[in-house]
């Protein structure tokens, strides 16, 4: 199978869905002529024109309001917020309006939109352009939250999100845009709410999200040389969560390390830890549930400090080794 980048996979998903369904359109800052802040929408303006690839003023609240209104009238908009940090400015429309309208209308209204946004540190973009705020939106009933970690997942999950009749927050990590992987040329979907085991193992389970899946797989390869076989589970969709593969994996290995980039306090790892503790997997645990997450601090501009603010491969290796060897 051919290999393309994460960014190319997203662009291909958008192009194929726009060709398939005239109700799909893209709207956001610099998504048109410029091709998107990270190049994801490059070339789509030339193919589909200004009525379907719409550049907006600098107003994240306006973008969120536009896709909410358009979705209510039967369109399937794909909005883009240039950095996830600026989702804070769009929260009124996303949290107080879009997430609640279908419930308040007794199911008579649907809101089939996707809000794409890049998150995460590692580009030297400092405290206001490097946050991972996924758990803010996981907390809101009515929103679906997706975090693909591979090009294959990016395409399949984006197509599924566009076709879904509910508002979807689609979170892409900046450091994943250049990652390459096998992706079929034809359109395909990955169901929202379907976790995947990215690597089989029997000594330890790592549950990781987004770019931390890639780092966990690298860590698992290093640990394999030491005789420690790690199983890596990727939820892919944070909400709705496919809990069963996670629970089965923990029951098999008896040890679990949860890895994510967002700050540890209030992060998604706490939800996963509670899920495991409240499940039948609890009786199979041979060690405490361990979380490895970003530090509770703004992301520094200094590249060395930024590196140490979020989990890296060596941190995952060290923590997993301690856990597998019974030193935790």
- pLDDT exceeds cutoff 90 at 92: yes
Mean pLDDT of the chain: 98
Q: What is the pTM of this model?
A: 0.97
Give CA–CA dist 135/139, Å, rounded: 6
Given the residues 23, 129, 139, 173, select the one marked as catalytic.
Answer: 129
Q: Up-side HSE of residue 129: CA atoms within 13 Å toward CB?
A: 9
Cα separation of 295 and 262, whole Å?
8
**Does 196-324 match 3-182 at the fold level?**
yes
Cα(179)–Cα(28) distance, integer angstroms: 24
Chain segment 144-200, per-residue pLDDT in tens:
999 999 999 999 999 999 999 999 999 999 999 999 999 999 999 999 999 999 999
Beta bridge partners, 53, equal: 26
Question: pLDDT-derived band of residue 1, with 50, 70 and 90 as boundaries?
Answer: confident
Determine the CATH number of domain 196-324. Answer: 3.40.50.920
What DSSP string runs through 22-72? Answer: TTEEEEETT-SSS--TTSTTTTHHHHH-TTTEEE--S-HHHHHHHHHHHHH
- pLDDT digits 0-9 by tens, 242-254: 999 999 999 999 9
Q: Which residue has the tokens 């250049």?
A: 178
pLDDT tens for residues 214-235? 999 999 999 999 999 999 999 9
Q: Token pair of 295, please?
A: 């530090």
Place of tokens 């923990």: 250
Cα angle for residues 235, 237, 238 (degrees, 5° grid): 85
Angle at the Cα of 5 (from 195 to 115), degrees rounded to 5? 60
Whether the CA torsion 38, 40, 44, 50 is positive or negative: it is negative
| Beta strands 168-173; 237-239: pairing state | unpaired
Res. 328 pLDDT band, cuts 50 70 90: confident
Domain boundaries, the chain: 3-182, 196-324
Give the separation between CA 219 and CA 186, rounded to whole angstroms.
Answer: 32
308 included as an active-site residue = no
**Cα angle at 277 between 272 and 280, to 5 degrees?**
110
pLDDT tens digits for range 61-70: 999 999 999 9
Which architecture characterizes domain 3-182 according to CATH? 3-Layer(aba) Sandwich (3.40)
């Amino acid at each position: 199978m051919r290999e393309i980048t994460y960014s190319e996979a997203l662009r291909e998903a958008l192009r194929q869905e726009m060709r398939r369904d005239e109700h799909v359109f893209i709207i956001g800052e610099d998504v048109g002529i410029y091709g998107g802040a990270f190049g994801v929408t490059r070339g789509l303006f030339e193919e589909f024109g200004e009525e379907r690839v719409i550049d907006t003023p600098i107003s994240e609240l306006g973008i969120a309001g536009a896709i909410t209104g358009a979705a209510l009238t039967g369109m399937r908009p794909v909005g883009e917020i240039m950095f996830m940090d600026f989702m804070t400015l769009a929260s009124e429309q996303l949290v107080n309006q879009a997430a609640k309208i279908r419930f308040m209308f007794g199911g008579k209204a649907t809101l089939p939109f996707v809000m794409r946004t890049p998150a995460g540190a590692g580009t030297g973009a400092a405290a206001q352009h490097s946050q991972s705020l996924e758990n803010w939106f996981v907390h809101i009933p009515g929103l679906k939250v997706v975090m693909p970690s591979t090009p294959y997942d990016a395409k399949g999950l984006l197509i599924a999100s566009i076709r879904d009749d509910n508002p979807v927050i689609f979170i892409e990590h900046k450091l994943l845009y250049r990652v390459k992987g096998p992706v079929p040329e034809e359109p395909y979907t990955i169901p929202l709410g379907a976790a995947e085991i990215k690597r089989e193992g029997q000594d330890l389970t790592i549950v990781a999200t987004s770019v931390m899946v890639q780092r966990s797989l690298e860590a698992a390869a290093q640990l394999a040389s030491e005789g420690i076989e790690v199983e890596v589970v990727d939820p892919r969709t944070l909400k709705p969560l496919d809990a069963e593969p996670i629970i089965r994996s923990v029951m098999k290995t008896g040890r679990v390390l949860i890895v994510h980039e967002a700050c540890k306090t209030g992060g998604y790892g706490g939800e996963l830890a509670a899920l495991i503790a409240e499940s039948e997997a609890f009786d199979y645990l041979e060690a405490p549930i361990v979380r490895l997450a970003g530090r509770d601090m703004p992301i520094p501009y200094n590249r060395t400090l930024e590196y140490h603010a979020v989990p890296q491969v060596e941190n995952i290796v060290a923590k997993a080794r301690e856990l597998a060897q019974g030193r935790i």
